[in-house]
């Protein structure tokens, strides 16, 4: 469960001060599929970064599964993030010279998982996401949809229960974007909480709940 209580995020100081989030109160239950929408600069990415433990509020509380993240040290927050949260980005953020298999394996190497277990987990993701045939390809030899699938597999391989995706269909054509949304729906049905940021109302409408932000405040 994700709970934000009166979260304020301010960037910069004095006359350069920018209030990116202005008193956000929000609850997202386990297993929800949510879209965060709003105009450019409204605070969507800032909100996603706080939910994803990439950043902390300037004021207010953020509870993740009843843990008050705002009371934790940087390294404790990093551990929580690695355990619970997976990220997917608009431009995939894959390693150019690594194969699909190696890209997906990377978070497991960082976590010191032994080779045989890594193999099992990576193969499981390759199968679940339907990308076994590109496992030995580098990203430049894959389609956009395949790259995004690899990125999703990499985000999920460590067993996170929250998937955060910043404009996951933004770099894809409409048909491939639809496929990726179907995939995210499937992942959500398997029990993962999925939160996406999108400008595209057609994409947002495919989720269960839309959170609209404007000027750092929740509109609905
Ligand atoms: N690191 C930063 N330093 C200073 N200001 C920032 C920083 N990051 C974001 N901002 C400002 O905070 C506000 C919210 O930014 P944010 O990136 O969260 O919006 P967004 O809704 O995700 O925008 P977009 O849709 O264009 O990505 C904007 O005014 C932005 O300029």
Helix (H) or strand (E) holding 156: helix 144-156
pLDDT at residue 53 greater than cutoff 90: yes
Which atom, in ligand 1's list, is nearest to the CA of 213? 21
pLDDT tens for 177-196 read: 888 899 899 999 999 999 99
In sequence order, what are the residues at sequence separation of 6 or more whose Cβ sits closer than 8 angstroms to the Cβ of residue 174?
A: none
Q: How far is the CA of 54 from the centre of ligand 1 (A)?
A: 14
Q: Is residue 91 predicted with pLDDT exceeding 90?
A: no
Q: How many CA atoms lie within 13 A of 206 on its CB side?
A: 21
pLDDT tens-digit profile of 1-39? Answer: 999 999 999 999 888 899 999 999 999 999 999 999 999
Q: Which of 46, 82, 32, 54 is nearest to 195 (CA)?
A: 32
Q: Give the residue, by CA position, lying nearest to ligand 1 atom 23.
A: 41
Strands 59-64 and 67-68: antiparallel
Ligand 1 centroid to 38 CA: how many Å?
Answer: 12
- Size of the chain, expressed as the number of residues it contains: 220
Pick the CATH number of 31-56+81-214 from 3.40.50.300, 3.40.50.620, 3.30.70.20, 3.50.30.60: 3.40.50.300
Closest residue by Cα to atom 28, ligand 1, is 41
pTM: 0.92
Q: What is the ipTM of this complex?
A: 0.96
Cα 25 to Cα 6, 62, 66, 75, 177: the distances in Å are 5, 10, 15, 26, 30
Ligand 1 atom at minimal distance to the Cα of residue 43: 18
The structural domains of the chain, with segments of one domain joined by +, span: 31-56+81-214
Q: What is the mean pLDDT of the chain?
A: 93
């Amino acid at each position: 469960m994700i709970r934000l209580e009166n979260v304020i995020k301010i960037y910069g100081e004095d006359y350069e001060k920018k209030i990116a989030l202005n008193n956000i109160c929000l609850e997202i239950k386990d297993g929800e599929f949510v879209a965060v929408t709003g105009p450019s600069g409204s605070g969507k990415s800032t909100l996603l970064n706080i939910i994803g433990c990439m950043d902390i509020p300037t004021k207010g509380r953020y509870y993740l599964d009843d843990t008050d993240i705002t009371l934790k040290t940087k390294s404790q927050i990093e551990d929580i993030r690695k355990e619970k949260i997976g990220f997917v980005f608009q431009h995939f953020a894959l390693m150019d010279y690594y194969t699909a298999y190696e890209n997906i394996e990377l978070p497991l190497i960082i976590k010191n998982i032994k080779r045989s277990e890594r193999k099992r987990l990576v193969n499981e993701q390759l199968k679940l996401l339907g990308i076994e045939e590109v496992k030995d390809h580098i990203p430049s030899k894959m389609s956009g949809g395949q790259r995004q699938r690899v990125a999703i597999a990499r985000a999920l391989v460590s067993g996170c229960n929250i998937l955060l995706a910043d404009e996951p269909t933004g770099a894809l054509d409409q048909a491939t974007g639809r496929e990726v949304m179907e995939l995210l729906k499937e992942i959500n049905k398997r029990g993962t909480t999925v939160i996406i940021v999108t400008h595209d109302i057609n994409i947002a409408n495919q989720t269960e709940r839309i959170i609209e932000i404007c000027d750092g405040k929740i509109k609905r």
